[in-house]
Amino acid sequence: KTPFRRYSKTAPKIRINGVEYETHPEFTNISGTIHNLCDRSLHLKPSHPIGIIRKLIEDKLNSTGNAYSIYNDFKPVVTVEENFDSLGFPSDHPGRSKSDTYYVNDKHLFRTHTSAHEKECFQNINAPGIVSDSGAQTSKPGFLISADVYRRDEIDRTHYPVFHQMEGAHIWSRSKEMAKEGQEPAHIQKLRTELQTIEKQLQGESMKIEVEDDTSLAGNPKQDYMSDVEVELCSQHLKRSIELVVAQVFNKKVESMGGVTKDCVLPVRWIKAYFPWTAPSWEIEVFWQGEWLELCGCGLVREQVLLNAGYEPSSTIGWAFGIGLDRVAMLLFEIPDIRLFWTHDDRFHSQFKEGKISKFKPYSKYPGTMRDVAFWLPDDQTCDVIHENDLMEIVREMAGDLVESVKIIDDFTHPKTKKRSLCYRINYQSMDRNLTNDEVNAIQENVRNELVDKYKVTLR
C-alpha cells in the first residue's frame, strides 16, 4: 500500500526531490499521492511503454539531421513564471487556478506541461560555451524535452493526475548579411533544404500519410515579424516533422499486428488551435480504428517567448510542439487503463521490450465494487467551495490506484430550500488483485469523513 502523507495547511515546509519549499496557507494543495509519484521517471525506463514511445520519437526526429538536444531529467517543480508567465499566459487563464493545478506554494507548482522548460532550453541554444556532439561551439538548433506533467482532473480510465509529454522545438537564426542579388537569405535556403530532406524521408516511409491541412490563416493569424515565406516554410517543416513521427510509430503498430503497411494510408488532419505562446497554432489528429485521436498541439513560437529567453528582437524564427505520450501508448500497446502504467506488478512490466510495440495481454480482470456518496453542499458561504476536482483529489488520496472511476450520477437543487445535493458513484477496482468488502468500506468511510471535515458537506 502507498503510504499516506498528508499536508496540513500549517506544515511550514515540504521536501520534494531533495529541495525544501515553504508552504503557503492559500496555495499549497499538493497531496501525498502526487508527492509519491513525482520521482518514478517512467519515461526513462527503456522497456516501459512510455519510455519505448519516447525513444522511438527521439530517434526518428534526430534521424533527419541530428538537430535536437535531448532533455529528459527536468524535475517536476517549476516556478509560476516558467509554467505560465514566460509563455504569455494571461493572469486570469483557467489553467492557473488551484482547482486545475497542483501548487507547492504561491511561487512554485508541479508543471502542467513540458512547455514550462521552453525558456531555459531556448536560452541554452544561445548560451556560449555549449559544445555540440561534433565539437563545434554552438549547440543544436532544436531540443526535445520529455517529462511527467501534473493536472488536477477527473478520474476515469484515460485520466490520471500525472501523465507524460514530449516538447519539441526548432529555431533558425535570420541571416545578418543581406542576401546576394537574386538569392534568398541563408536561413530560408537552409529551411528549404531541410524541408526537402524530411519530405524525402516521409515519401520513403512504407506507411503513407493522407493529410487534410487547414493552411488558411483566417482566425489563426501569423506574427507581424515573420514574412509569408518564413511562415510557410516553418509551418511545413513543423507539420512534416510530426507526420514523419506519426508514419513511423503507426507503421510499427501495423507491423506488430502482423499487417503490411505497403498500401496503407493513415488519415491525419491539422486543425487550427490557440496557445498563448505560438502563432499560428494547430492540433494534429490521427484517424485510427474509426476515431480521430488528438495527438499534439503545436505552432510557430511567438517572438515574445524568444525575447523572454534573451534573444535579440527579430533575430530568430521557430516552431514548437507538445505531444501527450500516455494516450498514444495506451492505443499502441492496447492498454485498457491508464493506471497500469504506474503498477509495480511484474506481470505488466515483463510484457514489454525496448524498441518494440506489442499488444498488452491482460493478466486478469479483477471485479470492481461500486459505492455512492451523496451529500448536501453547505450554504454557509464562509467555507471553501468544493470543486469537482477537490472531490477527485480526496478519493485519490484515500483510495490511491484502487479507484477506477468517479462519476456524478445526481445533481439536484431542492425547489424550496434551494439546497443543492450531489451524488457521485465511485468504482473501486484494482488492476493487480481482488479487493475485500471491508477494505472498500474502510476507504469509503474515509472519503465520507474527509468530505465533511474539509468541505463541511452534510452526508445523506
Query: Which residues contact ligand FA5 (rule: CB under 6 A)?
Result: 113, 115, 151, 153, 159, 163, 165, 167, 275, 278, 294-299, 320-322, 324, 326-327
Pinpoint the alpha helices (H) of 258-387.
Answer: 303-308, 325-333, 346-349
Pairwise CA distance, residues 335 & 295, whole Å: 17
C-beta closer to ligand FA5: residue 326 or 404: 326
Pairwise CA distance, residues 148 & 230, whole Å: 33
C-beta closer to ligand FA5: residue 185 or 318: 318
Query: Smallest distance, Å, CB 203 to ligand FA5?
Result: 26
Query: Smallest distance, Å, CB 171 to ligand FA5?
Result: 13
C-beta closer to ligand FA5: residue 145 or 443: 145
CB atoms within 10 A of CB 17: 10
Which whole-number Å values give the CA distances from 142 to 30, 62, 132, 168, 215, in the listed order? 33, 10, 12, 7, 24
Nearest to 171 by CA among 321, 320, 307: 320
Query: Smallest distance, Å, CB 190 to ligand FA5?
Result: 22
Which whole-number Å values give the CA distances from 158 to 240, 360, 364, in the listed order? 28, 16, 19
Q: How far is CA 241 from the centre of its chain?
A: 19
Query: Smallest distance, Å, CB 121 to ligand FA5?
Result: 12
In terms of residues, how long is the chain?
460
> 419 is written with which cell numbers?
439546497
Identify the bridge partners of residue 49 per DSSP, sorted by sequence position. none
C-beta closer to ligand FA5: residue 298 or 398: 298
Residues 279 and 302: beta-carbon distance below 8 Å: yes
Pairwise CA distance, residues 173 & 134, whole Å: 20
Specify the residue for cell string 499516506. 4
Query: Smallest distance, Å, CB 161 to ligand FA5?
Result: 8
C-beta closer to ligand FA5: residue 326 or 393: 326
Pairwise CA distance, residues 132 & 289, whole Å: 42
Query: Smallest distance, Å, CB 341 to ligand FA5?
Result: 11
Query: Smallest distance, Å, CB 211 to ligand FA5?
Result: 18
Q: Which residue is nearest to ligand FA5 (CB)?
A: 324
- By CB atoms closer than 10 A (0-12, 13-18, 19+), residue 208 is middle
3-state SS, one letter per residue, for 29-75: CCCHHHHHHCCCCHHHCCCCHHHHHHHHHHHHHHCCCCCEEEECCCC
C-beta closer to ligand FA5: residue 330 or 440: 330
C-beta closer to ligand FA5: residue 391 or 451: 391
Query: Smallest distance, Å, CB 227 to ligand FA5?
Result: 21
Query: Smallest distance, Å, CB 158 to ligand FA5?
Result: 7
